[in-house]
Amino acid sequence: MKFEPTIGLEVHIQLLTDSKIFCSCSTKFGSLPNENVCPVCLGMPGVLPVLNKKVVEFALRLGLALNCTINKYSVMARKNYFYPDLPKNYQISQYELPILTGGYVEIEDENGFKKIPLERIHIEEDAGKTIHTSNSSLIDYNRTGTALLEIVSKPAIETPRQAYEYLRSLRRIVRYLGICDGNMEEGSLRCDANISIKPKGQKELGTKVEVKNMNSFKHVEKALEYEWNRQIQAVMDNQSIIQETRLFDEKTLTTKSMRSKEEAYEYRYFPDPDLVPISINDDFTQSVKGNLPELPFEKMQRFVKHYSIKEEDAKTLVESKDIADYYEESAKLSNPKAACNWILTEVLGYLNKENKDITQCKIKPANLAELINLVENNVISGKIAKEVFAKMYENALSPKVIIEKENLVLIQDTSIIEKALDEAIASNPKAVEQYKTGKKNTIGFFVGAVMKATKGKADPKIVNELIIKKLGDI
């Protein structure tokens, strides 16, 4: 019997607001433990939370980008449970009336494009962080009260790979929107996965298992692969699948039981009496809509059409908004196809070796365009350009400064090139004979000889023209 998984993802994104969701405490990452706290986020008696308007704006930005229904009336609710890093013993979230419903995240896998439908997106606050040591547990409340959006997909993801692509697509979008940095390592994007299995073709879903503690997209994929196989094996062994929460162990790439899965009624949700309902008017929605940036898929299509580059290359460029912006700035000042090639090979190649991102690149887009134009105008050769690029990357100098300093301009004086060619012809009579017998690829041998003699500075166009002329006259 063949089994297929049904997967749903719950993704929490930490919003890039300067202050927390209900108070003015800073959200700066990396502060000293318990530095960014106040009576409001610590849940002291007598304090009143006030909703950060920026949180609502960011929620609308995401809802519009994902084609969600924006609910003009939504309510903040208390989700009651005890945990040491939850100082109020309840979390302010949304339950029956979330700010966004419906919508979808579009992904691309080996079968083409697919829309993963969403159940809802709601606003909530984050909890603190528990740090376990060998003999104690420490609590850091800095993260308490940080604004989150929880994005809940419908159970419509069919494979672990689709889950991976869903997360990649979602991270691209939130980064383009400027509402989250999408950094899983720092916890600003976190994912819980729900998975069940069913016999292939059957409609009824199996028992759902939740998997937590995954800090990379690859780990989400690996955890789901393991859990899929574990559940199949359990069914084949006539064991029951228990509805539970499991933790992913990144060392063994396995999941381990953590606790039984809570049901919604166990949280005893009720509307928060200290917060008024959220009311959104059309003017506010339209103002947010008018400030939306161009999203990755739209940008990719425009790059292909406007700059005539390959779709696969455009996909790579728009993976990051910073890379896309870097490319576009270079492409406007030089040959767009050449700019694409240089960025995908040289720029990203150098950065990846040092595990850096495009914002750390010392070569400005205008300087890369300048280098490309020097090659296009036959001022330097492609080979020399790569040497110049290496020096630009290291020293943040413009290409012209490097070329002038090291005298790297192409030799276009035909007398100098002709002298080097004559010496090559005189020294290689056998190669000349091969050319005369019809082996035209011998031209490459003489090009190499001239380039070696001129230290790569001879103008390739002039070299080729002289070789054909001289060998034809022999």
> SS3 of 297, please?
helix
pLDDT, one tens digit for every residue, the chain (474 residues): 788 999 999 999 999 999 999 999 999 988 999 999 999 999 999 999 999 999 999 999 999 999 999 999 999 999 999 889 999 999 999 999 999 999 999 998 888 889 999 999 999 999 999 998 889 999 999 999 999 999 999 999 999 999 999 999 999 999 999 999 998 888 899 999 999 999 888 877 789 999 998 989 999 999 999 999 999 999 999 998 999 999 999 999 999 998 876 666 688 999 999 999 999 999 999 999 999 999 999 999 999 999 999 999 999 999 999 999 999 999 999 999 999 999 999 999 999 999 999 999 999 999 999 999 999 988 888 888 999 999 999 998 999 999 888 777 777 768 888 888 888 888 888 877 777 777 777 778 888 888 888 777 777 778 887 888 877 665
Any alpha helices (H) in 112-216, and if so which ranges?
Answer: 160-177
Backbone angles phi, psi at 323, to 5 degrees: -70, -45
Task: Give residues with Cβ within 8 angstroms of 4, minimum separation 6.
Answer: 158, 197, 198, 199, 200
Distance (Å, whole) CA 91 – CA 82: 10
Distance (Å, whole) CA 213 – CA 263: 20
Tokens of 45: 């008696």
Angle, to 10 degrees, between the axis of helix 442-453 and the axis of helix 429-436? 150
* Longest distance between any two alpha carbons in the chain, whole Å: 100
Distance (Å, whole) CA 473 – CA 435: 12
Distance of CA 137 to the CA centre of its chain: 34
Domain residue spans in the chain?
3-287, 296-406, 414-473
pLDDT at position 261 is: 66
The CATH number fitting domain 414-473, selected from 1.10.8.420, 3.40.50.10710, 3.90.550.10, 1.10.10.410: 1.10.10.410
pLDDT at position 61 is: 98
Distances (CA, A) of 430 to 426, 438, 446: 10, 13, 12
Rounded to two decimals, the pTM is 0.85
Q: Where are the beta strands (DSSP E) in 341-472?
A: none
Distances (CA, A) of 10 to 154, 170, 176, 441: 9, 12, 20, 60
Dihedral sign for Cα 239, 241, 245, 248, please.
positive
Strand partners, 77: 93, 271
For the chain, counts of helices (H) and of strands (E):
16, 17
Straight-line distance from the first to the last Cα atom of the chain, in angstroms, rounded to the nearest whole number: 77
Distances (CA, A) of 302 to 17, 62, 128, 294, 313: 30, 21, 43, 10, 12
pLDDT at position 415 is: 80
